[in-house]
Amino acid sequence: MSFAEYPQLVIFLSIYVFVVGIFGGSFLSVVGIRLPRGMSIVHPRSHCDACGRPLAFYELIPIFSYGVMRGACRTCGVRIPARYIIFEVLAGALALYTLWHEPTWSLRISWWLLWSLLLVTSQTDLEAMIVPNVISYPSAALFLMISVVLHTRTISSAIMGMAVGFLLIAGIHILSKGKMGLGDAKLYLSIGAVLGPYETLFSLIAASMLGTVIGYTLRYLGRLKPRQAIPFVPFISGGVLLTSLIGKLVINWYFHLLHVPLQ
Ligand SMILES: [Zn+2]
């Protein structure tokens, strides 16, 4: 399908994907917050964390409800973390970005699922500094299967990506005496299956650089104690986004450099 031939369809599809992305992000946010607490995803109904009051339907509409409630619970006045609305907007933006950026539906599906995984695990990591095994193991199997079934990647490339991601982080985990969690390594099984070995490596380097720059900035600003650990999944997600944006370009450029015969 060529987008350029159907401008109305493109506008409709873009709005649809953005809105679905926002609602999806809102749901993934709830999953990411409830999972580490051992709560069910569907029960109890969404409620204020501070006073326990169940939320009315109009308080559950992403972004809109944040505006209506002016960022605080109407009953107890406790502020709703800005992180929730940032997640919703981000999810919508990533859904739209993927629609435009990826050339085939197979790749779009695979990336939408990967962003969903990264949004949930960013939330669990921010909430409780964990990447739950109940998410990372089934995801790894799912993404390997997707690569094969949707032909987004050869099976050997997917498995090599998984191995590179897992082994590098597991290595850092051992060298850093556990400062880098094994949960991140298990998460990289899924990322590796989507990205393949070279882009996996690129995304890890990008994530480390982002983590270093932002970590030092937060420490400098006094927002972080000297030895305080920071959740790494948001940085991994940032690294994956950078990979999607410029990974292929940088990798091709690098290999081009290597292939230039030495004088
Ligand atoms: Zn409340």
Instruction: Output the CA 79–ligand 1 centroid distance in Å.
Output: 9
Q: 63 C-alpha vs ligand 1 centroid, how far in Å?
A: 18
Distance of alpha carbon 253 from alpha carbon 242, whole angstroms: 16
**How far apart are the CA of 72 and the centre of ligand 1, in A?**
8
Distance 50 CA to ligand 1 centre (A): 5
- Could you state, in order of their start, the residue ranges of all structural domains in the chain? 1-101, 105-263
Q: Ligand 1 center to residue 230 CA distance, Å?
A: 28
Q: What is the pLDDT of residue 263?
A: 43
Q: What is the pLDDT along the chain (263 residues), one digit of tens a residue?
A: 566 678 888 899 999 999 999 999 989 988 998 888 888 877 777 888 788 888 887 888 887 777 777 888 888 888 888 888 899 999 999 999 999 999 999 999 999 999 999 999 999 999 899 999 999 999 999 999 999 999 999 999 999 999 999 999 999 999 988 777 899 999 999 999 999 999 999 999 999 999 999 988 988 888 887 777 889 999 999 999 999 999 999 998 988 888 765 44
Distance 48 CA to ligand 1 centre (A): 5
